[in-house]
Amino acid sequence: MKKYFIKSFLILILIVLGIFAKYYFEEINFSKLNFVHRFVLDRVLNEWENEMSFLPSHERGIVEYASLMNLLGTLECSFVERIFEINPVDLGFKGKFFTLEKPENLLRIESVTLNRKGEGYETGISYLPSHVNNDYELMMIEMEKQIGKKLFIDSGYRSAGRQAYLFLFYLAKSNDYSLRENAKIIAMPGYSEHGSPNTTAIDFINANGINGYNDSQIAEDFEILEEYKWLTENGYKYNFYLSYPRENRFGVSFEPWHWHWEIKK
C-alpha cells in the first residue's frame, strides 16, 4: 500500500510538472498572461520588491538592471528576458529605443514635502542630467515670477532596472497582466524617455500634490492646472515639450504631467 501511494504521488508530481512546463514554454499572450506566467511574474515581483525595500531610497531610481536579474532563479530570469525581448510595436507602443546605459552627469534632486489634502506627500529623491536640471530650474524661476506657482519633480531619470521593475509592477498590479494595456501607460526598459540621457523626461507635480495619476486622480486633474497652461505656452522656451498629448502617434495614453527635454532644430 505504501509503495502504491508513493508511486501515485510521483505520478501526480510528474503531471503537475508537465502542466507547468507546457504553460511556461507557451507563447506569451499579449492580452493576458496565462496562469503559469502570472505565477512566475508574481515571484519575480516578490524578489524585486524585497530588494527595493532594503535599498536606500536614493538608490531605488538608479538600481542596475543586472543586479535585479541576478536575484532571480533560472526560470524567473528566462521569463523576464522573454518579456523584454518582445517588440513594443507588437504591443501598440511606437516610441523609439534610447539606451540601457546610465548617464554620467546625473544630479541628485532632494525630496520635497508637499501638502496633499492636508497630509504630507514626499516626492522622493530624483535624478536629472545637469543640462535638463539647469533648464528646469530656469523655467520654474520664470513660472513663479509670472503666476506665483511652480512645479516639482515627481519622477526624473530612471535606470533600466527601475524601469523594468515599474513595467512588471504595473503589469501585475494595475493592468490585469495585459501587456497591451500596460504598454499604454509605461514603457519597457530602454524605451522610456525617463531613461534617455539626452532627452530625459520629468513627471511634474504641483504644490498641492496634483500629478494626474496618483490618489485616484485622472489626467484632467493636472490638465486644468494654471501651471499646466503656463507650460503649454512657455515650456518650449526652456526646451521642454509635452510628450504624450491626446491621440499621440506613440500609442501612449494622454499624460499632461510628462514633459521631455529636447533641443529642436
Cell reading at 14: 510528474
Residue 250: which residues within 8 A CB-CB, separation 6 or more?
Answer: 93, 94, 95, 243, 244
Tell me which of 14 and 193 has the higher pLDDT.
193
Instruction: Specify the 3-state DSSP secondary structure of 97.
Output: coil
Give the pLDDT band of residue 119 (cuts 50, 70, 90).
confident
Please state which CATH number belongs to domain 27-265. Answer: 3.30.1380.10
Cell reading at 156: 526624473
Does the pLDDT at position 116 exceed 90? no
For the beta carbon of residue 40, count every other beta carbon within 10 angstroms.
22
Does the pLDDT at position 15 exceed 80? no
Question: What letter represents residue 182's amino acid?
Answer: N
Its sign, for the CA torsion 255, 256, 257, 261, is: positive
Domain range summary for the chain, segments of one domain joined by +: 27-265
Alpha-carbon separation of residue 53 from 48, 115, 155, 164, 167 (angstroms): 9, 25, 18, 16, 17
Does the pLDDT at position 265 exceed 80? no
**Mean per-residue pLDDT of the chain:** 94
Alpha-carbon separation of residue 114 from 11, 102, 117, 211 (angstroms): 59, 29, 10, 12
Q: Using one digit for the tens of pLDDT, what is the confidence trace for 181-215?
A: 999 999 999 999 999 999 999 999 999 999 999 87
Nearest to 166 by CA among 140, 204, 203, 129: 203
Q: Is 87 exposed, middle or buried (0-12, 13-18, 19+ CB in 10 A)?
A: exposed
166 neighbors 186 (Cβ within 8 angstroms): yes
Measure the CA–CA gap between 118 and 152, rounded to whole angstroms.
18
Nearest to 23 by CA among 37, 38, 8: 37
Cell reading at 162: 527601475
